[in-house]
Chain A
Amino acid sequence: MEKEYWRWPESKWMSPDIDWKTGDIISAGVDVGSVSSQAVVLVDGKLFCYSNFRTGSDSPESAQKVMDKALEETGLALEKIHFTVGTGYGRVNVPFANRALTEIACHSRGANFMYGPQVRTILDMGGQDCKAIHCDERGKVTNFLMNDKCAAGTGRGMEVFADLLSIPIEEMGQLSFKVEKEPEPVSSTCVIFAKSEAVGLLRKGWPKEKVLAAYSSAMAHRVVELLGRIKMEKDFAITGGIAKNEGIVKRIESELKIEALKPQYDTQIAGALGAALFAKALVEKERGLR
């Protein structure tokens, strides 16, 4: 079988210190995205376990699978979870969710938890869309913009380039810096046209690192333009799968002249984490605690 260069690693994690049985509120968030799905479980607002897997063709099935994976070996059963919030483009298709919320609200809340209350601007680079969010110190959205009409600046675009250049997706960031001089960015931001342009450059004899650098800087430029529409303010954080690609992160930083906050968590779980935090808040509201 041919090597699948685009294949990014799936993951799961469980806290070694938390016993869910002692928890008062067990809340969960499930983010069914276009490319990846995540499930996060919180025990009294503390991260208990999560999982990150590829979304299949069936949203309800993907939601169930990612939740099962998160709960695997934890001893916690789905029925014990007090409240579950679904988010992401497949949010209405999470069979066990008590409520669906938009990914804008959830990413903002999740980033507030991941990067701390000082975070003001969030750039979420997802599988098939890109979101620019400005939020307050509680993670409440104050300004947002989403671009889901065009695949430029998305994870899927990067996957297409991984396959085209035969470079494993996790090595793309590093390799994009292996150029003597930063080349001119490709002129097309559209993934389809950028791919045709890249093929042309390869034919011209450009090494693949150089083509990758030209695509990475076009992608960075494109998302920086989106940030220009909302109120760009320090502190700034990038979430989503592309946040793991330093070739893009560093180029965005140099264009903005602002350093992005360094993540302590898996950047792909921001949406599901925010959903789980909302789930906790909604339980508290139900119980009359807030």
Chain B
Amino acid sequence: MLAHYGYKDGSGDYFIVIDTDKCDGCGECVTACPYGVFEVGEEENDPFREEPVAKVTELHRKKIKYSCAPCKPTSGKKPLPCVQACRPDAISHSW
């Protein structure tokens, strides 16, 4: 499942996309993110999935543009820590 966490507002689209079929719930993204955007837990959208899965915390879902801003400078961009930490390549950003 492609889970889009975030929102669209007048200024643009801000979604973190987690491919739950690729995610193995290892939790590397949780430790890699300096702002605590991720968590690993029960898959809320599939009651029959037994394994834990990564998701964006409720706290950050509605302010993701600002939560992620420090990792997205306008110049001197570096690879995003969450994307880099994810071994199965399950995380992507829409902006």
Contacts from A to B (Cβ < 8 Å): 99, 101-102, 104-105, 140-150, 189-190, 225-226, 229-230, 278, 281-282, 285
How far, in angstroms, from A229 to B4 measured CA to CA in the complex?
9
Q: Is the CB of A226 within 8 A of B8?
A: yes
Q: Is the CB of A150 within 8 A of B9?
A: yes
Report B7 CB to chain A, min CB distance, Å. 4
> CB-nearest residue of chain B relative to A228?
B13
Q: Is the CB of A229 within 8 A of B45?
A: no
**A-chain residues with CB within 8 Å of residue B2 when the two chains form the complex:** 142-144, 230
Report B92 CB to chain A, min CB distance, Å. 12
Q: Is the CB of A282 within 8 A of B46?
A: no
Interface of A is mostly: mixed
Q: Is the CB of A141 within 8 A of B45?
A: yes
Q: Which listed residue (B7, B15, B46) contacts A141, Cβ 8 A?
A: B46
Q: Is the CB of A278 within 8 A of B47?
A: yes
A143-B1, A144-B2, A230-B2 known; A102+B7 contact, CB < 8 A: no
Can you name 23 A-B residue pairings with CB atoms under 8 Å?
Answer: A104-B45, A105-B44, A105-B46, A140-B46, A142-B2, A143-B1, A144-B3, A144-B4, A145-B15, A148-B7, A149-B7, A149-B9, A149-B62, A150-B8, A190-B10, A226-B8, A229-B4, A229-B8, A229-B13, A229-B15, A230-B2, A281-B48, A282-B47
Q: Which listed residue (A146, A150, A189, A190) contacts B4, Cβ 8 A?
A: A146
Report A139 CB to chain B, min CB distance, Å. 11
B75 adjacent to chain A (CB < 8 Å):
no
How far, in angstroms, from A149 to B12 measured CA to CA in the complex?
13
A149-B62, A229-B13 known; A101+B8 contact, CB < 8 A: no
Q: Which listed residue (A99, A147, A230) contacts B7, Cβ 8 A?
A: A147
Contacting residues of chain B (1-58) with chain A, CB-CB under 8 angstroms: 1-4, 7-10, 13, 15, 44-48
B74 adjacent to chain A (CB < 8 Å):
no
Q: Is the CB of A229 within 8 A of B9?
A: no
**B-chain residues with CB within 8 Å of residue A278 when the two chains form the complex:** 47
Given A101-B44, A140-B46, A229-B94; 15 other pairs, CB 8 A cutoff: A99-B47, A104-B45, A105-B45, A105-B46, A140-B1, A142-B1, A144-B1, A144-B3, A144-B4, A150-B9, A189-B10, A230-B2, A230-B4, A282-B47, A285-B48
**A-chain residues with CB within 8 Å of residue B44 when the two chains form the complex:** 101-102, 104-105
**A-chain residues with CB within 8 Å of residue B47 when the two chains form the complex:** 99, 101, 105, 278, 281-282
How far, in angstroms, from A225 to B13 measured CA to CA in the complex?
10
Report B36 CB to chain A, min CB distance, Å. 19
> CB-nearest residue of chain B relative to A102?
B44
Report A170 CB to chain B, min CB distance, Å. 29
Report B4 CB to chain A, min CB distance, Å. 4
> CB-nearest residue of chain B relative to A149?
B7
Q: Is the CB of B8 within 8 A of A225?
A: yes
> CB-nearest residue of chain B relative to A132?
B4
Report B74 CB to chain A, min CB distance, Å. 23
How far, in angstroms, from A194 to B1 measured CA to CA in the complex?
34
**A-chain residues with CB within 8 Å of residue B94 when the two chains form the complex:** 229
**B-chain residues with CB within 8 Å of residue A230 when the two chains form the complex:** 2, 4
How far, in angstroms, from A189 to B11 measured CA to CA in the complex?
12
> CB-nearest residue of chain B relative to A133?
B45
Report A23 CB to chain B, min CB distance, Å. 22
Report B3 CB to chain A, min CB distance, Å. 6
How far, in angstroms, from A148 to B8 measured CA to CA in the complex?
9
**B-chain residues with CB within 8 Å of residue A142 when the two chains form the complex:** 1-2
Instruction: Name the 3 nearest CB pairs between A and B, nearest first.
Output: A145-B4, A149-B7, A143-B2
